[in-house]
């Protein structure tokens, strides 16, 4: 939905394929020593990512988006990333069913609100 986003996370040992079935989303991928890269996914555009890569997904504007995510092997763990007290990047293990946590969505909203100040 407009305004919704995941926090940065990885899919542990699972490879992932994702696409938008309706609307669009923005995927951001963290890269070592470089700025993150952003890609807009719309219907017909397929993204594949290797196990362990770190990304976030946000609504891309316009109509509500519907996305499809497929994992192999099945998703049993995700790593959720947060800034630590000294801005260190901290990874928290979570069950795979918690890829889209309500609080990470809330944190993404708060981060965008903070950036707008
Ligand atoms: Fe993901």
User: How far is the C-alpha of 4 from the C-alpha of 23, rounded, in Å?
Assistant: 13
Which one is predicted more confidently, 47 or 98?
47
User: Residue 87's domain spans which residues?
Assistant: 9-116
Which one is predicted more confidently, 92 or 113?
92
Is residue 47 a part of any domain in this protein?
yes
Ligand 1 center to 44 CA (angstroms) = 18
- Assess whether pLDDT exceeds 70 at residue 101: no
Ligand 1 center to 113 CA (angstroms) = 22
Is residue 108 a part of any domain in this protein?
yes
Is residue 77 a part of any domain in this protein?
yes
Is residue 4 a part of any domain in this protein?
no
Ligand 1 center to 116 CA (angstroms) = 25
Q: What is the pLDDT of residue 91?
A: 94
Is residue 54 a part of any domain in this protein?
yes
Ligand 1 center to 7 CA (angstroms) = 9
Q: Give the DSSP H or E segment for 39.
A: strand 34-41
Reported confidence tier of residue 87, pLDDT bands at 50, 70, 90: confident
Ligand 1 center to 115 CA (angstroms) = 23
User: How far is the C-alpha of 20 from the C-alpha of 77, rounded, in Å?
Assistant: 23
- Assess whether pLDDT exceeds 60 at residue 72: yes
Is residue 2 a part of any domain in this protein?
no
Is residue 3 a part of any domain in this protein?
no
Ligand 1 center to 111 CA (angstroms) = 18
Is residue 22 a part of any domain in this protein?
yes
Cβ neighbours of residue 40 closer than 8 Å, sequence gap 6 or more: 24, 25, 26, 27, 60
Q: Is the whole-model pTM more than 0.75?
A: yes
Ligand 1 center to 10 CA (angstroms) = 6
- How many folded domains does the chain comprise? 1
Q: What pLDDT, in 10s, does the model give residues 28-66?
A: 999 999 999 999 999 999 999 999 999 999 999 999 999
Helix locations, the chain, DSSP H: 102-116
User: For residue 17, what is the domain's CATH number?
Assistant: 2.60.120.10
């Amino acid at each position: 939905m407009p305004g919704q986003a995941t926090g940065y996370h990885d899919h542990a040992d699972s490879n992932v394929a994702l696409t938008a079935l309706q609307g669009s989303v923005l995927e951001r991928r963290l890269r070592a020593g470089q700025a993150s890269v952003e890609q807009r996914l719309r219907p017909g555009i397929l993204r594949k990512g290797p196990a362990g890569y770190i990304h976030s997904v946000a609504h891309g504007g316009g109509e509500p988006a519907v996305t499809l995510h497929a994992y192999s092997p099945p998703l049993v763990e995700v790593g959720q990333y947060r800034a630590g007290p000294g801005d260190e990047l901290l990874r928290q293990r979570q069950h795979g069913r918690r890829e889209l946590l309500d609080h990470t969505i809330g944190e993404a909203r708060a981060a965008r609100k903070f950036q707008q100040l």
